[in-house]
Structure 1
Amino acid sequence: MHAAALTISSRNYSSWSLRGWLICRMAGLDFRTEVLSGDDANSRAELLHLSPSFLVPRLRHGDIVVWDTLAIAAYLSETFPEAGLLPRDVAERAHCHSISGEMHAGFVNLRSALPMNLKAFHPGFRLFNGARADIERLVTIFDDCLDRYDGPFLFGPTPCLADAMYAPVCTRFRTYDVRLPPRAAGYRDTILHWPLMVEWAEAAAEEPEEIEELDMEF
């Protein structure tokens, strides 16, 4: 019997579900995954509004219920400190919290223009100025972290919370054929070949198409 349950929405479309799932796996939590139907109101609202503020993903661990990706990360980092969700050094940890919070609250133009869709590929996709500015900021974050901590992940040789937060963006770069400088492209590829990401993508490929409204983006 699993010790916990993580409720998610679509594996193919939901960046927040992906982040929550990665964080739980990185923490070493024994959990089962419960997937909401596309007809569920919370699931559809979270997907169509591209918002982190709905009650998905939601973690139940014993009598404790936690929702919101950063809240799940904070709970699991306290519960499983040995898992290394956060850097040990206080300055690095503060940096990790800062860029994780920036992803949680920002990049609205990119979210709207390039919604997550793991099954799709749009070669030569036209980027508008708002999304370009967000991409430039992402490249700056990647370069800064890789310069400071020597990669291949944002804070060194092993993934942490920040990598879980930025992983869905890497899938968007592939889906929309976004051209990146070599170093940012290398980080994107590191994330896309991360075994946990490969596992998630394989499950997403088997997911039925239920959110028809998202086709209107294209």
Structure 2
Amino acid sequence: MREQWLKRWREGRIGFHLAQTHPALVRHWKALKVPGRAKVLVPLCGKSLDMRWLSEQGHPVLGVELAPEAIEQFIAQHSGEISRYHQAGFHIARQGSVELWQGDFFHLHIRQVDEVEAFYDRASLIALPPATRQRYAFHLAQLVPPGAKGLLVTLQHRDGDAGPPYSVSEKEIDELFTPNFSLEKREEGAADERGFAESVWALERRGPLI
């Protein structure tokens, strides 16, 4: 899966990327009542413009992405001073209040995200095959503190296990997250011309870990 993801970025096969802020983020983020200066974790962030939007709302952002091309393209979209450094196997680039960690999300340690108070997943869970999604949900719960709030955008489509993006059912979302998060569906969209239907969920980390 790792090599397939890197190959997609090298070849520019990134149809999942939106050239604007995701409308669901704009519609639902403020209703979460995340504290104004809370640092937001964005796993598998790609070059998402959602990170710019979160930054514009006053949030420091910590994005994690495997593909170096994604990070360089994100930086190139904006002017601004860039600082670069390394930490525990990650190559880190900071531009304004957005910090991008290039490396494996599953290698991220709680000590590296101790200031994180919120999270946003628009295309992380649905980028992962079924066998990896349980690991992802538990690792996310390990990284964010009790009380941390977040927004999860998923989708369902008629091609079953084909992906990415993968179709994730409401039943699976419940099984993955309810052990460690309170979960509330905020929106269920109609299927588009491709047969993709998005759902939007509000999460809040409970504690202790289960």
TM-score bracket, normalised by the shorter chain, equals: 0.3 to 0.5
Higher relative contact order at CA 8 Å, sep ≥6: structure 1 or structure 2? Answer: 1
Q: TM-score, normalised by structure 2?
A: 0.33
Indicate the structure with greater strand content. Answer: 2
Q: TM-score, normalised by structure 1?
A: 0.32
